[in-house]
Amino acid sequence: MAKKRKWWSGLLVLSLVGVLFTGCSTNNTAGSSTSAPAATTAPAESTAPDATEAPAADAPVDGGTLVTSSFSDIVNINPLLVNDTASGDVAQFVFAKLYNLDREGNVQAEDWSLAAALPEISEDGLTYTVKLKDTAKWSDGQPVVADDVVYTVEMAKNKETGSPLISAFDKVKTVEKVDDHTVKFTMSQIYAPFLYALVQEIVPAHVLKDVKPTEMQKNAFGTDPAKTVTSGPWKWTAWKQGESHTLDADPAYWGTVKPHIAQIIYKVYADQNTEVQAIMKGDTDHISAIPVTQVEAVKADGKIDIIQKPGAQYEYVNFNFDGKNFPDGYGLFQGQKTRQAIAHALNRQGMVDNILKGVGALMNAPFLPDTWADPGDAAVNYDYNAETAKKLLAEDGWVADAKDGILVKDGHRFSFELQYNAGNSRREQVAAVIQQNLKDVGIEVKPKAIDFAAWIDQNVTPGKYQALLLAWSLNTPDPDAESIFSSKYFPPAGQNSGWYKNEKLDKLWVDGYSTVDQAKRKEIYKEVGKEISTDLPYVFLYQYGQAIGTGPRVHWAEEDAPEPSLGYGQFFHAIKWWVTE
Amino acid sequence: MTEYLIRRVLQSVLVIFLITILTFLLIHAAPGGPTQVMLAPGLTPEIFAQQAKNLGLDQPIPVQYFHWIGDLLQGDLGYTFKNHIAISDLLWPRIGNTIILMGAAWLVSLLIAIPWGIYNSTKVYGLSDQTASFISYLGFAMPTFWFGILLQQWLSLKLDWFPLSDMHTRGKEDSIADLFMHLVLPVTVLALGFLASYMKYARASMLEVLDQDYIRTARAKGVKERKVVFRHALRNALIPIITILGLDLPILVGGAALTENVFNWPGMGRWFVEMATAREYSALMAVTIVTAVMVVIGNLLADILYVVVDPRVKLGKQGGKAA
């Protein structure tokens, strides 16, 4: 009997351990840049990365295999459902987009775009007419036609599909087929960022037309290579879950520019460290994120070319303005001077130099540096100055407590919890710097790392925290960020999780997207930059980047080099790359 | 014996059933669900809600449970939530891969540990015994992932003797020799861990038996030492070792997540962590079931082997003849 009890309890313990494992686990998504796409930013006026000495300028050769990799597998490459980095990586090799971005982030009809020319926009800014190339074909031989575009947009707009594209297309009133190769979009309002929404892969209506929106996620299109009809230079021929994807050049590809590389293997590694070892061994030719801590070691190896440049993402500290999150309902961040003092107290340049090893740029507004919407000097730059910080805090009524030096106002100690996701080493380090910097001016910070899924579920989405350390990863080059900062988007339905309300900004965001005249928009975003950097719902920390590593087999001409400042820019112009053995 | 086994199997089924309920409830109590993990945080809760509805995750937990258990009884392990792929398509190949890795490591360690442990029990504190002790400490103390990375750095990256990671070289999926080369490093790491404990068990168990009266009697009667060890002592010493081996059986399918991660081995351990991270309830339940079944089988096998090794053991019968 005693023995029986032992194995019964053994089973129970096993299952409990399994469950605990679930509770404690962290998340790949979290480990990386973590964050929402959806926000928008300006086109990056960058030049080809100068760190790339790579690829020989010899004549391209056809054939060969490029092995690229990631540390997470795809979820679904159906363009209607793509919402994670790995799925986006694979999708952009096998699906053609209506339009593509050039290195500066401008929308273009390229040789490999489905559209034949830039869209015609009506004078009132309300209709966009898109002409498709009549040569474009799906991998099953069917032509790519207006019906496919209409179907894609209608499915994306339909709430029942649960598509992450909904926010890009919900201002489209109607989408109509004019003829087989012409589509007309009529907007319900002028919405300038819509041009970037057209930088989008589409799905084949002839394959999916009978699928109900609610069944889209369960459909094999996007998860079964045999059932995924594609339109890009490569076809998706095999997927070994958790191991690799095989993409073969489509012999019937319609584009005038054909891919040089015959086969792409997209390998899945367990984590970034394993991936870095693999590129050093030559098991993979291209990785898109070498951890900052390992960049020097990889450089020392001498075989790998590294492209290091800030990307389309920025980190921030988000204050919560909802008093309910603080003891006695006393919001610590209500005073504008208090927030400005915190900005002065943080050594942002120190974070860039020491934690990001120089691969980052300070930011004062939610627009990436050197882009057309960057407000430049119009935004307030908070230099690192503890004395100024102390002075501002004193002006706002904070007085140092005689016992421990922590500031007190109306009987409330200036002590708050700074939440971030566990497992992100960059944030762990930054949180420690913030804690030290603010301690120097009399503010107590209690950094708290939480498992990603639990954090999003219980704190971020419902707006329940005191302060966050988080980042936005921007997936379109448009500067509109209404959905993050406007009081229209309070939790739980919106992304303004800090409950920030500023009526002037609320209006400016609408003004910003209600004209398609870029010069006017630039002026508006300058005003946004000034207002937001003065009022400071966030302390904008820095734009940061991940180092792209490429092995000696991969080659490109300089104008086709990877462009880290663009979403999926690590594969910029991959159609023109070539490999040697 | 047959009656005993039947009773044992029925009890096991009941236990597994209770475990599924417990696991299901506990997993659902953990924060975050498949949709949260699948979607970036910036997307609105409406999209979460719609995705969850499309996947049936908005149903009450008992309803979800009965759907799942109903499918299971028909041999259907369900589908992943994030991309609707059949769990069985994902599970079985990984179990196979893990059995190859863990089985090899287990076998290597057994083949070394048992004879070595037995030998050391006859020469306590000799050079061999002390060497074994040192290796045991090393095996217990050294973190497997660290040892793994060390081997990769030296034997793969620097000397280029073995592949760095994965199960096969691309294009050589059918080659046994290639698989063997890929096994060397992870098996070395895992075997060292197993070796340490099995050697200790074998030595301790043998020492205990050798200390018993009937062995002394045999020796006193002038039976040769070799005969004492192999004929008289070994059988009895094997019983506790068999217990340990039986209880360890589930590790053959459970995998070793860290080692699988370091060597990018597409096995169960790594997959389980992935699925746990993604809150893939069906996948976690499938792993729980498989592991639970393995625990039961391990116990049954251990019991059966007792009888084989030592016929005096009459399981489940009260009042068996005392020996």
Tens digit of pLDDT for each residue in A141-152? Answer: 999 999 999 999
Q: Are A307 and A547 in contact (CB under 8 A)?
A: yes
- Average per-residue pLDDT for chain A: 88
Q: What residues of A are in contact with residue B260 (Cβ under 8 Å)?
A: 270
Per-residue pLDDT band for A45 (boundaries 50, 70, 90) equals: very low
* Percent of chain B residues topping a pLDDT of 70: 92
Q: What residues of B are in contact with residue A39 (Cβ under 8 Å)?
A: 42
Q: What residues of B are in contact with residue A271 (Cβ under 8 Å)?
A: 261
Q: The tokens of A211 are what?
A: 């699928």
CB contact under 8 A, A242 and B266: yes
CB contact under 8 A, B41 and A223: no
Tens digit of pLDDT for each residue in A297-336? Answer: 899 988 999 998 898 899 999 999 999 999 999 999 999 9
pLDDT score for A25? 32
Q: Which residue of B has its CA nearest to A77?
A: B83
Largest CA distance in chain A: 86
- Average per-residue pLDDT for chain B: 84
A292-301 b/e with 16+ CB inside 10 Å = b? bebbeebeee
List, in sequence order, every residue forming a beta bridge with A239; answer none if it has no partner: A245
Q: Region A419-437: what's the mean pLDDT?
A: 93
CB contact under 8 A, A159 and B261: no
Contact residues for B27 (Cβ-Cβ < 8 A; gap 6+): A19, A22, B279, B281, B284, B285
Residue type, B314: K
* Percent of chain A residues topping a pLDDT of 70: 90
Tens digit of pLDDT for each residue in B104-147? Answer: 999 999 999 988 998 888 888 889 999 998 988 888 888 888 89
Distances (CA, A) of A317 to A365, A381, A471: 12, 15, 9
Partner B, chain A 227-266, Cβ-Cβ below 8 Å: 240-243, 265
Contact residues for B105 (Cβ-Cβ < 8 A; gap 6+): B186, B187, B190, B191, B194
Q: What is the pTM for the complete model shown? A: 0.85
CB contact under 8 A, B31 and A36: no
CB atoms within 10 A of CB A553: 17
CB contact under 8 A, A36 and B279: no
pLDDT score for B40? 55
The residue ranking higher by pLDDT, A348 or A170, is A348
The residue ranking higher by pLDDT, A223 or B27, is A223
Residue type, A106: N
pLDDT score for B223? 81
pLDDT score for A149? 98
Say whether pLDDT at B17 is over 50: yes
Say whether pLDDT at A22 is over 50: no
The residue ranking higher by pLDDT, B288 or A258, is A258
The residue ranking higher by pLDDT, B143 or A514, is A514
* Percent of chain A residues topping a pLDDT of 90: 72
Q: Are B214 and B228 in contact (CB under 8 A)?
A: no
pLDDT score for B277? 80
β-strand pairing of A467-473 with A415-421? parallel
Tens digit of pLDDT for each residue in A393-424? Answer: 999 999 999 889 999 999 999 999 999 998 88
CB contact under 8 A, A241 and B85: yes
Q: Region B295-319: what's the mean pLDDT?
A: 69
Tens digit of pLDDT for each residue in B154-182? Answer: 999 999 999 999 999 988 888 999 999 99
Residue among A496, A424, A454, A453 at smallest CA distance from A38: A496
Tell me how far apart the alpha carbons of residues A259 and A253 are, in angstroms, rounded to a whole number.
9
* A62: alpha, beta or left? (left if phi > 0; alpha if psi -120 to 50): beta
pLDDT score for B68? 86
Q: The tokens of A411 are what?
A: 């009987």
Residue among B277, B124, B157 at smallest CA distance from A73: B277
